[in-house]
A = this chain, B = another copy of it.
Amino acid sequence: MDFFSQQFIPTSRQASRDAEAVSHILGFRAGLFFMLSAGIYSYLPLGYKVIRNIEKIIRKHMNASGAQELLMSALQPIDIWRKTGRDEILKDVMLTLKDRKGRELCLGPTHEELITEIAKRYTKSYKQMPFILYQIQTKFRDEARPRFGLLRSCEFIMKDAYSFDVDEAGLDINYQKMYEAYNKIFAECGVEYVSVEADSGAMGGKVSHEFMIPAEIGEDTLFYCAACNKYFGDIEACPTCKGKLHKRTMIEVGHIFKLGTKYSAAQEALFLDSSGARKPVVMGCYGIGVSRMLSAIIEGNNDSRGIVWPVSVAPYKVIVSILNDKFKDEAVKFSNALDERGAEVLIDDRPESPGVKFNDAALIGIPYILVFGKTFEQKGKVELEIRRTGQKHEFELDKALNYLLEQCDAKR
C-alpha cells in the first residue's frame, strides 16, 4: 500500500516533443520512464513495477518448464565473437570498448557466444544433458535511429534462454516446451498476440517462431482475417473463408530459434555421446523483449484518457481516491485489507482537486478506481470504476472488498 503523496510518480499533461508512438507519449505522461539522451532510458518507480511484474510472469513459466536462471556478464571479450564471425555480422549494432589494458570488449547485444563458452567449459558428457538456462538481463545495441521509446532503444531488458541437447530430437522437445511457455507468458501478460514461423536472420539455424503484438507503429506486417481472427503472411485472401485480408503492423516481442550446432561447432563446445564419439551440443535460443513488452502492452491497451493496464502487469491493482480528508481513516483501513491480501493499492491522498485525481488515475491506468467521495458521505457506499470499460458501480465496503479480491485474484 503506497500513498500517492509520497510516491515518485511525476505525471504530466505533456509528453516530450520527440515522442512519436502512443506508448512513448503515455509512458512519459504517466511518469513511467525518463530519457537522459536519445535511446537511453531509466525506468521510474511506476514503470519499473510493471517491468518487475512482467519479469515475475516470465520467471514463473520459465521455472515451471524446468529452465534454470543464471546471470551472464554484459561485458564480453570480442575474441569469443570472432569464433562465430558475428563480430563482423553484428558490427554495426555492437557497442565496443577497450579497457585500460587494451583488452577489446563489447557490450552483449545477445549471449549465444557466452553461453556456448559456459556449456563448453562444463558439459562434457551426454549424461549432463538436456538442460535449459535463462537470464533476465540488460542488453545493448548501437541503434542507428533510436525511436518509439522502449521499442527501439540502445539499452533494453531481455529474457534470453538457451537449451542444450544431445540431438535434434531433444531440441525438438525443448523447443516445444519453450513454445508452450511463451504462449502462457503472453497470455498471462494480458496481450493479444500471435505466433508465426519466421526467418532466422543473423541468428542462424533452421526453424524459428516470432511472437508478435499488433500495433500501429509495428515494423513487421501481417495480413489479418477479421472473420476468422487469424493472421497470415503475404497472401491475398483468407484460405479458410476466402475473405479479404487486412494489413496489420506488428511489434516483435519474442523470437525462438532452433540453432542446431552453429555455435557449438564454431566454438568447439563438444561432448562425448553414449558411444564415445565427440559431437557438438545441439542448441536452441529463446528471447523475449521485456522492456519492449512494457511499450507493446501500452500500444494495445490505451484510450483517450491514458493507459489501461491488464490486471496481471498493472503497477497497482486498485487506486483509492480520497476526495475528502475526513474519509481518510476508513479509506486507509479498507486499502490495507485489500493490499495485505495481495491486491496492491495506491491511495491518492494528495491535496488535489477531484478532476486532477480522476485524470491521473485514468492516465496511469490502474484497473480499478475506487472513490471515497459524496456517495460515501451520503449513502455509505464507494464508487468503483472499471478502468477498461468505464463501467461504474456503487458498493458497500464489504462488497467492494470481495468484488476486488475476486477480480484481482482471478486474473493473476
Contact = CB atoms under 8 A, between A and B. Distances in A.
B73 A40 contact: yes
Contact of A133 (B45, B72, B154): B45
Interface string A271-298: 0000000000000000000000000000
Interface stretch (A97-105, A176-184, A243-251): A97-105
Contacts of A131: 6, 8
B99 A68 contact: no
A69 B122 CA distance: 36
B77 A40 contact: yes
A125 to B, nearest CB: 12
A235 interface: no
A37 B44 CA distance: 33
Interface in A6-22: 6-8, 10
A48 interface: yes
A288 B71 CA distance: 19
Interface in A101-147: 103, 107, 114, 117-118, 121-122, 131, 133, 138, 140, 142, 144
Given A34-B118, A36-B117, A75-B155, A70 B96 contact: no
Interface in A32-86: 34, 36-37, 40-45, 48-49, 51-52, 66, 68-77, 80
Given A36-B80, A92-B100, 9 more contacts: A36-B73, A36-B114, A42-B70, A42-B73, A43-B72, A45-B133, A48-B69, A74-B74, A75-B154
19 contacts: A6-B131, A8-B68, A8-B70, A36-B80, A37-B77, A40-B76, A43-B72, A44-B118, A45-B68, A49-B69, A52-B69, A73-B155, A74-B74, A74-B155, A75-B140, A75-B155, A96-B97, A97-B97, A99-B142
